Amino acid sequence: MARPLLVLDRVEKRYDAGEISVVALREVNLAIFRGEYVAVMGASGSGKSTLMNILGCLDLPTRGRYVLAGTDVSGLDDTDLAAVRNRLIGFVFQSFNLIPRTNAQRNVELPMVYAGVKPRERSERARAALAAVGLSDRALHNPSELSGGQQQRVAVARAIVTDPAIVLADEPTGNLDTRSTGEMLDVFDGLHRSGRTIVLITHEADVAARASRVIRLSDGQIVSDELRAMRGAV
């Protein structure tokens, strides 16, 4: 088997709130391979948000190692973590999280701004990413002028524009109606088909059903990890 893209090795996360110490993740071992479409499921409080934060390098594990694309990120400082997020990770959040009063084109360009990409290339790549999610005609609209589904597609465009190693989606359909949810999941299917590695966190079974692998979390531990359907799509 090929080397995994991402490895969690006995990762533990605890939050200290005064006297009480809450364990959000305990002894989590996980390997995700390039091209996988993984759904992480679990009830609220199961630790899936914590897992997402650690996978996304927004937070560091209390104990254990996290190796992403060959880099051990467990010991990196703020600046290096920012660079890892910028180069290797694309985020899609439940509440879209676009920058207000900034049009779709500029929102998509933003990660490249921080990466130091030249304006000309930035704008070309942003246009291509918006085209990939079917929003070419909305490039100059501000988020407030877009529907929820459109905003989330802009967010996806922003997530993939830097060609990251992994796309992390945290309840991406949580704020969408049924139709937009369907469209969004189609977009993810398309990304999966084109070979992207996707980790999607959800509590909805029908959303998870689209994934090639489903991991269930409960009480900070992985309780099941099943491969679905064929991985032959890759």
Cα angle 111, 113, 118 (rounded to 5 degrees) comes to: 125
* Under rule CB under 8 A, residue 83 binds another protein: yes
* Under rule CB under 8 A, residue 66 binds another protein: no
* CA 115 from centroid of its chain's CA atoms: 18
Dihedral angle over CA of 95, 7, 78, 122, nearest 10: -60
* CA-to-CA dists, residue 117 to 1, 87, 126, 131, angstroms: 35, 12, 11, 19
| Cβ neighbours, 10 Å, residue 93 | 18
* Under rule CB under 8 A, residue 85 binds another protein: yes
* Under rule CB under 8 A, residue 93 binds another protein: yes
Contact pick of 22, 43, 58, 131 for another protein (by CB under 8 A): 58
* CA-to-CA dists, residue 116 to 121, 161, 162, 163, 231, angstroms: 10, 14, 11, 15, 36
| Residue span binding another protein (CB under 8 A) among the ranges 50-58, 123-131, 197-205, 222-230 | 50-58
Query: Considering beta carbons, is residue 101 or 120 the nearer one to another protein?
Result: 101
Contacts with another protein: how many residues (CB under 8 A)?
Answer: 27
Contact pick of 28, 35, 39, 53 for another protein (by CB under 8 A): 53
Residues in the site for another protein, rule: CB under 8 A? 53, 56, 58-59, 78-79, 82-83, 85-87, 91, 93, 97-102, 110-111, 113-116, 158, 162
